[in-house]
Structure 1
Amino acid sequence: MTTIIQSLSEISEPYDALFCDLWGCLHNGVEPFAEAVVALQDFRARGGKVVLLTNAPRPAKFVQASLDRMGCPRDAYDLIVSSGDAAQDAMLAGAVGRKVWHLGPEKDDGFFTEIPDEWQGQPGVERVDFDDAEGIICTGPFDEQTEAPDDYRAKFLLAKTRGLPMLCANPDIVVDLGDRRIYCAGALAAFYEEMGGEALYFGKPHPPIYDMARRKLAAIGGASDGRILAVGDGINTDVAGAAGEGIDCLFVTGGLAHDQFGPDRQAPEAKLVTAWLETRMKDPLYTIGMLR
């Protein structure tokens, strides 16, 4: 049974590193959570490493730029590893072909234009019109403010008929942008699979993003799996991914599912937490209302 805690400092001593989610844990898409920032700064001050492990569909440099714009201080973390990083590696390896159709907003163009050093000089990937594509790169809806998966039914039916595989750069289904809930690439990929299409995933809860995080963490000192704590609000991404990787997990109830645990985001009700986790067959080691 999960243990409900009040602050990260209560349980941080056995851990050398955090794999910390962003949306719902460190920020709400508009501004950082002040107490979460302090908690990460304190963890680092005691010698721990903080890896921001996010299903953002953009490479890490663009995630960092977004955090900078929000006012999130850089001394709250050591590294950023994104689903975009892991998915970009797969794309450049040719996972869905060399001619791809991009389904996603212009803000994700860096996924195609910022090529990592290790891929320089290797065979490239060309963005093409849908009719000429060998595969689909999905980073989200074209218009995340207004569109839903069903808006793509006709296009996906044609894509399935043509046998186009889809690389999903963000397995999240939804995120909360301030007070507004928006669909992510994961919702489109799941809909495509329901229609009979093939989707490939590289962010949480799937292994590639964790493998990349371990490699990058090793380069700055590393930590054994037994001394890594995953922090996240996504039951099917953060919590499930940590369980699959054999990593302890701190579940943040005040994120996506905040309305399931009582009226106070900072103080989830134990009976509600236990019942909710049991119905989803998940058992994170620790639970907290909001990261602090």
Structure 2
Amino acid sequence: MAASSRPALVEGLKPLAENYDLILCDVWGVLHNGVTAYETAGDALTRFRAKGGRVVLVSNAPRPGAAVGAQLDRFKVPRTAYDAIVTSGDLTRLAIEERIDKVVNHIGPPRDMGMYDGLDVRFGRIEEADYVVCSGFDDDENETVEDYRSRLEAMRRRDLLMVCANPDLIVERGHMILPCAGTIALAYEEMGGMVFYAGKPHAPVYERALAIASQLGGRSIPKERVLAVGDAIRTDIAGAVGFGIDSLLIARGIHAKELGLHEGDLVSDHVQDWADRQPVTPTALMDMLAWEA
């Protein structure tokens, strides 16, 4: 689909489907909101695959793809909706493996420790660590970046690399908007610290997803036949633009409040106006992911 200066308003995936062989789809904010699955989204991807397309879920979750798959099963997202899952947790694990002889300090909740499973990792305090992995806030409902300022300052004094396992700044959980590891990483970067971002909007996660899709299909897939779907301008859309692929922004995600969208509202011209003012512009806009209106 040729990009235009103004993103197209679309009511469903159906009219776009013939233009693409592969969809790289965000998970949180598109397939579910952290509490409830969006049935129309799973149905849309299932129908796209039924027509011969492939779907790779690309998530900034700081957990392995298998763990995200198990979560999707609990939400009852149909497995017919996707071929594979690639997460920032997967890329973080690769970064850890490359530094397996180094001491790591972990910032983040216990639920994210699965990325270390099976690895002979040595953990240590910041004062003895060679690098830091940040997967998020210990308590994302009550903490802010300021609660981590002293740790970041200690890291900066030692010039430690931070591996950010979730580049998202915020995430929607039910009706709450909560901070993610990307917020801590951004603060560290602003202090002059070095950060490796393991997920979107950076190219490695897209390269891995495209390679997996090409391997599954037995042929390479040109970028002009790839569509990225997501709800975040900074990660999903910026990542797609940077990687050179088309993008579909789901408006009823983390930007819904900013856009003034309420239940029952439909994407309209004012959403196009808002998209035009962003640093990067999606190819198309949709209310929520669905096959057709």
TM-score normalised by the shorter chain: which range applies? Answer: over 0.9
| 1:115-264 paired onto structure 2 within 5 Å | 124-221=120-217, 222-264=220-262
- Which residue in 2 is equivalent to 1:269? 268
2: distance between equivalents of 1:153 and 1:29?
28
- Which residue in 1 is equivalent to 2:81? 76
Alignment counterpart, residue 110 of structure 1, candidates 109, 114, 138: 114
2: distance between equivalents of 1:263 and 1:162?
45
1: distance between equivalents of 2:118 and 2:228?
28
- 8 Å CA contact retained: 1:31, 1:71: no
CA distance 1:175–1:114, change in 2 (3 Å): farther
Number of residue equivalences: 282
- Which residue in 1 is equivalent to 2:7? 2
CA distance 1:278–1:195, change in 2 (3 Å): same
2: distance between equivalents of 1:52 and 1:143?
26
- Which residue in 2 is equivalent to 1:120? none
1: distance between equivalents of 2:34 and 2:167?
17
Q: Is the counterpart of residue 94 in structure 1 residue 90 in structure 2? A: no
- 8 Å CA contact retained: 1:262, 1:269: no
CA distance 1:208–1:164, change in 2 (3 Å): same
Which is further off, 138-147 or 11-20?
138-147
| Superimposed CA distance per residue, residues 22-75 of structure 1 (whole angstroms, 9 cap, x where no aligned partner) | 111110011210111111111111111111011001110111111111121211
Please tell me the residue identity of whatever aligns with 1:248: D
CA distance 1:267–1:4, change in 2 (3 Å): same
Equivalent residue of 1:11, what SS? Answer: helix
What runs of 5+ residues in structure 1 fail to find an aligned partner? 116-123
2: distance between equivalents of 1:245 and 1:263?
29
2: distance between equivalents of 1:182 and 1:94?
30
Equivalent residue of 1:108, what SS? Answer: helix
Which is further off, 215-224 or 234-243?
215-224
Deviation at 1:259, TM superposition (A): 2.2
- Which residue in 1 is equivalent to 2:284? 286
The RMSD of aligned alpha carbons is 1.6
Aligned-residue identity in percent: 40
- 8 Å CA contact retained: 2:43, 2:81: yes
1: distance between equivalents of 2:33 and 2:133?
26
- 8 Å CA contact retained: 1:171, 1:185: yes
Deviation at 1:268, TM superposition (A): 1.6
- 8 Å CA contact retained: 2:60, 2:200: yes
Deviation at 1:195, TM superposition (A): 2.2
Please tell me the residue identity of whatever aligns with 1:269: S
- Which residue in 2 is equivalent to 1:55? 60
Q: Is the counterpart of residue 41 in structure 1 residue 50 in structure 2? A: no
Please tell me the residue identity of whatever aligns with 2:285: T
Structure-2-length-normalised TM-score = 0.92
1: distance between equivalents of 2:150 and 2:260?
40
Equivalent residue of 2:31, what SS? Answer: coil
Which is further off, 78-87 or 127-136?
127-136
- 8 Å CA contact retained: 2:9, 2:268: no
Deviation at 1:262, TM superposition (A): 4.2
Deviation at 1:278, TM superposition (A): 2.4
- 8 Å CA contact retained: 2:61, 2:88: yes
Which is further off, 170-179 or 259-268?
259-268
Structure-1-length-normalised TM-score = 0.92
2: distance between equivalents of 1:281 and 1:106?
35
- Which residue in 2 is equivalent to 1:31? 36
| Superimposed CA distance per residue, residues 180-237 of structure 1 (whole angstroms, 9 cap, x where no aligned partner) | 1111110010011122222111200101101111121122015221111100111011
